[in-house]
Amino acid sequence: MRAVLKTSWPLLIGMFLLMIGNGMQGTVLGVRGGLEGFDATTMGLVMSGYFLGFLGGAKLTPVMLRRVGHVRVFAALGSMISAALIIYGAIVDPLAWTLMRVIVGFCYSGVYVVAESWLNNQATNETRGRALSAYLIVQMLGIIAAQGLLNAANPAGYDLFVIMSVAVSISFAPMLLSAGPTPVFETTRTMSLGRLYRTSPLGCVGTFLLGAIFACQFGMAPVYATLRGMTTAEISIFIGAFYVGGLVLQYPIGWLSDRMDRRRLIAIVTAVGAAAAFLALAAGGSFVWLVLAATLIGGTSNPLYSLLIAHTNDFLAPEDMAAASGGLIVLNGVGAAGTPILVGYLMRDYGAAAFPLFLGVVMATMTAYALYRMTRRRAKSAAETVPMPPITMGATPVAGEMAQEAVVELIEAAEATGEGSPQPAGAP
């Protein structure tokens, strides 16, 4: 890890600051929207803009990179993010916020692609897995830190929008000044969704459902907290709990994934997440129980993406893994895109309780499907499985390919030495 930090610390610091801006925007908008009297349906539309933009950015960024290069794309998208974050506070209007969310989602997707390309270019075969793990940890820490900054100023004012804009603006300095040579951008051919589904039905269905879970958790949790009447301090703790849980449980779930049937583990993890969501539903006004539920929901949902990709990889040749990750990322994005709108309508008609109910039902659905798939195909033995890649739910195709490269390199190293199943690729 020391070698990774030595070569990549400017990128990691920049990413930490970027995630502060990204982590603050959703929470601040959720709180401010409640103060402005925007209903859950309106906020669902606002929150969905980010995921629509993110999906579009993943498709169009490669085109921009080929036309004008990494540095120009990075600088242009970064300046647009910073401007959009200021406009949130200047124009308090649902349509303006939705448009800005689309722009911010599009730009963050492109910025991630560039940053991950530089990170991948700096990594070696020996450090790629650890570099991606460090990147994952920094992303989670940035989102957690962002929730603490929610208490730095009054959400009804302008200061919080300035703070997130400044954090994003500063983040580009270490990246642009020390990123090194511009990497060659290459895109991997995406596997058709039909072939991907035939290879791993659980990987496809699970990733699609996980996109809905992620969008609900990342987009609508602040709206739920506001409707529940939480204070600003309580909201910051509640939202942060989702990501603390994910950070803490990432490694234990990764450790278990190499020692048991991954379908059974997916069923267990999602069942725990569903139980936690129903706990939040039954918790009433107990803030302590809501925080515990959020910790368990985040702790089970965040590692699921890596687990589903690892399960899919178990049925793929190494040369097909990168292409498969691209298809899974598309499914994840499609599952996320419309979820905040749906949850917004449910919260309008059934109240704040629709938020944990939606999470519980979707997680329970994944549990049931994982159990069903266990009856359709034999389990892979531990010796036949591949390492679990360290990757987040908000990954771009570059991060997906980087994670798969790390897995392939571990497989090749294990085959060369005649060892058994390799350990997880740089699990945090």
Amino acid at 206: G
DSSP SS3 for 413? helix
pLDDT of residue 289: 93
Q: Which residues of 232-244 are buried (b: 16+ CB within 10 A; e: fewer)?
A: beebbbbbbbbbb
Query: What pLDDT is recorded for position 57?
Result: 84
Rounded to two decimals, what is the model's pTM? 0.85
pLDDT tens per residue, the chain (428 residues)? 566 566 667 778 888 999 999 999 999 999 999 999 999 999 999 999 999 998 888 778 878 877 887 778 888 898 999 999 999 999 999 999 999 999 999 999 888 877 777 777 776 656 666 777 788 888 889 999 999 999 989 998 999 999 999 999 998 888 777 655 655 555 556 678 898 899 899 999 999 999 999 999 988 999 999 999 999 999 999 999 999 998 899 888 888 887 888 899 999 999 999 999 999 988 777 899 999 999 999 999 988 888 888 888 888 887 777 777 778 888 888 899 889 999 999 999 999 999 999 999 999 999 999 999 999 888 776 666 767 766 666 666 565 666 666 666 666 666 666 655 444 433 33
Alpha helices in 150-183 (DSSP H): 159-178
Contact 105, 50 (CB under 8 A): yes
CA nearest neighbour of 94 among 223, 216, 213, 232: 223
CATH class of 2-417: mainly alpha
Distance CA(399)–CA(326), nearest Å, equals: 10
Q: Which two tokens stand for residue 217?
A: 């958790």
Asked if 371 and 267 count as a contact pair (C-beta separation under 8 A), the reply is yes
Q: Which pLDDT score is estimated for 396?
A: 61
The answer to whether the beta carbons of residues 136 and 392 sit under 8 Å apart is yes
At residue 320, the pLDDT reads 78
Q: Which positions ≥6 away from 250 have C-beta within 8 Å? A: 136, 302, 303, 306, 390, 427, 428
CA Rg value for the chain: 20
Spatial separation of the C-alpha atoms in residues 179 and 9, rounded to whole Å:
10
pLDDT score for 427? 39
